[in-house]
Structure 1
């Protein structure tokens, strides 16, 4: 098969997977899509397994052997297609227009899975012999709902394994076509503050006598952050990992300007002290607290003069290494009590996604950077940490893996939104780059050299 043949085969594989509406939020078609992913891996020469999860099965493929173990993590589940009315083409079909391919999951994450698998087939066509490294491919069916089964599954299936690198589910391509290698992800803590101030809403004439739930929540929430945006909870910053000189060098020259970020997002109110010279450092290395929404009282048409009896506010914290979500909950409780808000209840919705950050000096990062530049014809950017979050910490804590993201998600991909898309030329380049990455892994495994900053280089004899 030629390179073009591999591309066309991958396009049809992607079309097949997109036609399966594997929406984990609805528990829909997950087994069907898992079977399809397993079949594709088996056809590519992997020993395959299916393992049940709480909602959707895990697909595992294994190939090769040796002291070097690499894991690839992808997922076959997708976000709901809503609102369907905003799609310009059927969400569960591969549609082509304006130089892009559209469909739910085309980028997140079926396109990433298929492009890597096509690169694997291309690599094995060139090198059909015994594989000198061990490759484990894990395809999750619950990523879009927080991977509730992942931690337990890894412990059960891979207990005692040493994995050098987990090639994460996605990487990015910026608006100028430059590939971005992701070396980490922030953690996330999602909570709700809830207040009950009376048995029922009261007449607002009693506002001269009684407090109400929304005033309590507003005051409590305001106490959590100062005017500059810095979190005011005692202990919150105590364990924050300080970025290294090497990491700071990587963010000195942002790949985009602060002005372009403001224009792209429509945001108009930068935090006090955030500007062109430090915004990218903050995105990579600084934790933050965000108010997602308030609810309570009357918000309908006209006026209803009441003192709200109940209300709640949704808040999330984006955390950095070595902050622990559960510890932050404890700091928050102590802060509210000190401020006189003992009556406000904390409900924890999500405290399972811990922050991770891998070494930007790791040999896999340096190899990927070199190969991406060769295939994309653009300087590859190494980003120490994504501002977003992912359930990556179990791979670090249980398997010892470095988490490194290399992939094809461009900045206009509309992830989780109508008209999700990828750029076919970038899809094709990622197929070829993936093949080159597998070749580099083979060379490193055969020679035992080039594993700079490896955790396992001594034990492996490298």
Structure 2
């Protein structure tokens, strides 16, 4: 099953042009130029376009069509920094093709996803040039890689009264066997830093007989936060969690891959207490967790240095379930520290923007889209109730009222955020074909809803 060669050639040309623009939001580099290019591509494809300023990079909006069904597509054009450059086989901002893959910074995350959908749109419109029977809003931002600091504010101001049926999320996954994975939700996130200082400067370690150690206090404080099973011990932490629906529970009860495969791929060899082959997938989908991201202070050089450190820092992140608000969890963490006599430990919030969210996996368009993915990828699609990771999807679900549909071409060897980021050329082509038929499917759905239709 293939698309026309000229469509694939044009898509590669568009991706080459976008990858060539180093739109690194962490450095606020190349963002206006990339926004202009995205806008020109959407305009040339028949969209009415506009740009709006963000805190760091512009938002690009394309709109077309009208009708009883609204599709919202969300992508981003900013990318991660290219460092370390010397580990790239070819220059990071020059699209290269070898061994059946397209390489370049942003080839997967997220310019390749955007281009595959746009190429599918062009294919669809070439076959069906009549008036579009549904409304399509395409939002492409330039701040995703730095946490989308102005996205929620932009959506509230520009789309205050807009409602949508489906939000085609910025990415989806393809597993190592080639099965497409449709993501229906994401966890929220709270990232914090704990700091402790007990002296003006580092002291001789002999003074440890009378003075407390800041690293010891940080270690003691974090050890009070969870048990060996990973259960978080902060009072009120689990209050308000929205339980998954029965369909989501059923999907998570049958893992699409064995735990042993995940362990083999990651090298992870120590499981939390109570986690095993029968429930690990449900934990990934639904269970909040707490991680120590880094622990710093004192002497870490070669050999011994008998020092009593004066200060230390620890970075933590909580992955949160729907119903848990990051700022509320930060308040509960502060109360926990104070209750356990760690009042001297300073708490700084680093990220509290992203709330957890899930959508209904039994939505008819999701089911039809999964069937189309199976047609193009020639393997049954996996409907995953929630990614174990986080994404700022909450406003799209709760403000627009949209059902998430995370379908894309990010394969498990894509090297996201790393040197030699890539997509598989064959999967790029399949996603273009899928996108074209998905737009056609939504046209049929909209026509069935139209007044006077037998199915309206």
> How far does the alpha carbon of each residue in 1:224-280 deviate from its partner, in whole angstroms, 9 at most, with x for none?
011222111111112222222211211222122111111111112111111111111
Q: Secondary structure at the match of 2:353?
A: strand
Q: Structure 1: how far apart are the matches of 2:420 and 2:265?
A: 17
Q: Secondary structure at the match of 2:388?
A: strand
**In the alignment, what sits opposite 2:204?**
203
Q: Structure 2: how far apart are the matches of 1:252 and 1:395?
A: 27
Q: Structure 2: how far apart are the matches of 1:289 and 1:93?
A: 38
* TM-aligned CA deviation for residue 329 of structure 1: 0.7
* TM-aligned CA deviation for residue 209 of structure 1: 1.3
Q: Does 1:304 align with 2:324?
A: no
After superposition, residues 119-134 of structure 1 pair within 5 angstroms as 119-134=120-135
Q: Secondary structure at the match of 1:330?
A: helix
**In the alignment, what sits opposite 2:223?**
222
**In the alignment, what sits opposite 1:295?**
296
Unaligned runs of 5+ in 2: none
After superposition, residues 146-157 of structure 1 pair within 5 angstroms as 146-157=147-158
**In the alignment, what sits opposite 2:328?**
327
**In the alignment, what sits opposite 1:68?**
69
Aligned Cα RMSD in Å?
A: 1.5
Q: Given the two structures, how large is their TM-score scaled by the length of structure 1?
A: 0.96
* TM-aligned CA deviation for residue 364 of structure 1: 2.1
Q: Given the two structures, how large is their TM-score scaled by the length of structure 2?
A: 0.97
Unaligned runs of 5+ in 1: 450-456
Q: Structure 2: how far apart are the matches of 1:253 and 1:186?
A: 20
* TM-aligned CA deviation for residue 397 of structure 1: 2.8
**In the alignment, what sits opposite 2:406?**
405
Q: Structure 2: how far apart are the matches of 1:97 and 1:258?
A: 32
**In the alignment, what sits opposite 1:79?**
80
**In the alignment, what sits opposite 2:251?**
250
Q: Does 1:45 align with 2:56?
A: no
Q: Does 1:187 align with 2:194?
A: no
> How far does the alpha carbon of each residue in 1:8-33 deviate from its partner, in whole angstroms, 9 at most, with x for none?
11111111111111111111111111
Q: Report how many residues are paired.
A: 452
**In the alignment, what sits opposite 1:97?**
98
Q: Does 1:159 align with 2:160?
A: yes
After superposition, residues 260-275 of structure 1 pair within 5 angstroms as 260-275=261-276
**In the alignment, what sits opposite 2:347?**
346
* TM-aligned CA deviation for residue 376 of structure 1: 1.2
Q: Structure 1: how far apart are the matches of 2:131 and 2:120?
A: 17
After superposition, residues 134-149 of structure 1 pair within 5 angstroms as 134-149=135-150
Q: Secondary structure at the match of 1:353?
A: coil
Q: Does 1:34 align with 2:35?
A: yes
**In the alignment, what sits opposite 1:315?**
316
Q: Structure 2: how far apart are the matches of 1:220 and 1:10?
A: 53
Contact 2:359–2:397, Cα closer than 8 Å, also in 1: no
Q: Does 1:56 align with 2:57?
A: yes
